[in-house]
Structure 1
Amino acid sequence: MKLIRKPFVFARHAQSTFNAAQLIGGFTDSPLSEQGIEQAKNAAPILSDVLNNVLHREKWSIVATSTLQRTQQTAFYATPEQVITPYEQLKERNWGDLEGCPIAQQVGYEETPPNGEPWSNLEARIINALNDILSQYPYPLIIAHSGVYRVLNNVINGTPYCPRIGNISPISFIPNQDNNGWEITPIKESSND
């Protein structure tokens, strides 16, 4: 599958109650933890800085999330002035019987968890959703899940295996015009020295 070559910013949701307990979340609709709420609030100035100083815009063209509350709560606190648009297709992988189990029990991404979602289905639904967003909006902010990030890594770099993305650690994805690759850059808070 191919990803439309347009720039966007991606961030994984802030810490959920399942993240804090080191449990597999998947489709389980776990809310943000107290620490997650603080993480999302602390991300607001970073995302605002990207808008004002990099994009020279007042608002994101869209703030897209999954339909799970941990992504919507993150967007609510991190982009308080924006309308949030949830996409069912941006949900985390359905880990089936592994939902709620310790993260150490997670199987490899190419394996289908018992009563769970095959990797090929996950990748197809996520790329379809991302392409729908990218075809309509010039510079979207997408707040979703680590599984979405792994799909992006697989499509761009050929493997879902990569370091786990931190909670609410925004990353800029910009197509590289020279070699059909992508510039993937973590966004840090600018210093105001």
Structure 2
Amino acid sequence: MTLIPKPFVFARHAQSAFNAALRIGGFTDSPLSEAGIQQAQQAAPILNAIEWSAVITSTLQRTQQTASYAVPNQVIHPYEQLKERNWGDLEGCPIEQQLAYEITPPNGESWQDFETRVLSALNEILSEHSWPLIIAHSGVYRVLNNVINGTPYCPRIGNVTPISFIPSQDENSWNIAPFKGKFL
């Protein structure tokens, strides 16, 4: 499955309580930490520089809280399919216990199922909105990296670090760069 070639900005949610405790969050609905609230508020000047066609989050509160602090005057549209990967029995465990992406965690979601779910949601969003801001999870960013670069392995995206994804003229190619408050 490929990604519809339309521009968007992606940001990972601000620091959650599970992030702060170095725990696997996945499907667990962990709220933002105090540092996370500050991160989201600090991102507001950049993310509020544009009136987005839509502000999209997952249904987990850490993404919705990030959006409420970072783009407080815009309506949030939560998508169930953008939730982080279900890490099954590993939810809440120390981050060091996280498995390679190709390995399905006990009672969890396979990488293939996760990628299919996320790409389906992203394509639905991109077919309906011209310049969306998508606030989701590091796993969603890894799906994007896998589709665009052929591997889910990449540096972890920082909390509330907006990245612009602009389709290039080359087929199936993207210009990916830090978002500075406007599309270039």
Smaller-chain TM-score range? over 0.9
User: Is 1:68 aligned with 2:60?
Assistant: yes
Alignment partner, residue 108 of structure 2: 116
1:42-191 paired onto structure 2 within 5 Å: 42-49=42-49, 51=50, 59-188=51-180
Instruction: Indicate the SS of the match to 1:64.
Output: strand
The alignment status of 1:33 with 2:33, answered yes or no, reads yes
Distance (Å, rounded) in 2 between the aligned partners of 1:189 and 1:84: 19
| Equivalent residues of 2:148, 2:172 under 8 A apart | no
CA distance in 2: counterparts of 1:153 and 1:120, whole angstroms: 14
Deviations 1:81-136 (A, max 9, x none): 10000000000000000000000000000100011000000000100000000000
- What is the aligned-residue RMSD (CA, Å)? 1.1
The CA deviation at 1:189 is: 6.7
> Normalization by structure 2: what TM-score?
0.97
Show CA shifts across 1:27-50 (max 9, x none): 00000000000000000001123x
TM-score by length of 1: 0.92
Alignment partners' CA distance in 2, 1:108 and 1:65: 25
What amino acid does structure 1 have at the position aligned with 2:21? A
Contact 2:88–2:107 (CA<8 Å) still a contact in 1? yes
- Of all paired residues, the percent bearing the same amino acid is 75
Q: SS where residue 116 of structure 1 aligns?
A: coil
| 1:4 aligns to 2:13 (yes or no) | no
Partners of 1:71 and 1:180 in 2: how far apart?
28
- Match of 1:143, SS state, is strand
Secondary structure of 1:121's partner?
A: helix
Aligned-partner Cα distance in 1 for 2:44–2:78: 19
The SS at the match of 2:127 is helix
Equivalent AA in structure 2 for residue 134 of structure 1: L
Equivalent residue letter for 1:174: I
SS across alignment from 2:10: strand
After superposition, the C-alpha distances for 1:57-90 in whole angstroms (9 at most, x for unaligned) are: xx21100000000000000000001000000000
2:141 & 2:81 partners in 1: Cα distance?
Answer: 14
Q: State the alpha-carbon separation in 2 of the partners of residues 162 and 137 from structure 1.
A: 27
Structure 1 CA distance, aligned partners of 2:116 and 2:15? 26
Query: What is the distance in 2 between the residues matched to 1:158 and 1:116?
Result: 23
Deviation beyond 4 Å, 4+ runs, structure 1 = none
Q: Any unmatched runs of 5+ in structure 1?
A: 52-58
